[in-house]
Amino acid sequence: MAIQTRYAGDAQGVNNVDATYDGTLATIIATGLTKNPTALKLVMVNTYGKAQAFTAADSATGGPVETMLRSIALDSTVVMYQVDTNQLSVLLEAAGAATATISTRVLALGNLSTTLGTGNVWANNFTVTSTTGFKIA
């Protein structure tokens, strides 16, 4: 079996098609995506002295999680997401809007506990941030 030994170069050959990789640490390298991914973190904020928390019911069809993801997916492609007790992490391929725009859209959803009748979720009090890094573990 032939063995190839590389004497020069870097790992840019496995970088995203449209990514500008400059050697910065924590840049997402996604060989299966065709666009540069963005990671969003939506964190619940304590509201009026009441702690918020996602429950299993919030991931049901038409629930708060789906509603928030649909809001984000209006102009972005959701690749994967993770629901934790007080955080929704979303990996986007080709975010079509700035994080501030996505944040405004999510906050405008208001009190999802009232409108959808599940859980304890106030979308109007989330903080939305983005990063070029995405921690799996």
Alpha helices in 43-87 (DSSP H): 64-72
| Contact status, residue 97 vs residue 76, Cβ threshold 8 Å | yes
Question: Under 8 Å CB-to-CB from 68, ≥6 apart: which residues?
Answer: 42, 88, 106, 109, 112, 123
Q: Is residue 104 part of a domain?
A: yes
Q: Residue 9 in 3-state DSSP?
A: coil
Structure tokens at 120: 């304890």
**What is the tally of structural domains in the chain?**
1
Percent of the chain whose predicted confidence (pLDDT) is above 90: 17
pLDDT in tens, 35-62: 778 889 998 887 666 667 888 888 888 8
Residue 71's CB is within 10 A of a number of other CB atoms, namely: 16
Which pLDDT score, from 0 to 100, does residue 108 have? 92
Q: How far apart are the C-alpha atoms of 32 and 35, rounded to whole Å?
A: 9
Q: Is residue 98 part of a domain?
A: yes
Q: Is residue 72 part of a domain?
A: yes
Q: Is residue 31 part of a domain?
A: no
Residue 64 has, within 13 A of its CA and on its CB side, a CA count of 31
Q: Is residue 120 part of a domain?
A: yes
Q: Is residue 18 part of a domain?
A: no
| Contact status, residue 50 vs residue 61, Cβ threshold 8 Å | no
Residue 29's CB is within 10 A of a number of other CB atoms, namely: 13
Q: Is residue 15 part of a domain?
A: no
Q: What pTM was estimated for this model as a whole?
A: 0.76
| Domain containing residue 96: CATH number | 3.30.70
What is the chain's mean pLDDT, rounded? 78
pLDDT in tens, 98-129: 889 999 999 999 888 776 766 678 888 888 88
Which pLDDT score, from 0 to 100, does residue 46 have? 73
Q: Is residue 41 part of a domain?
A: yes
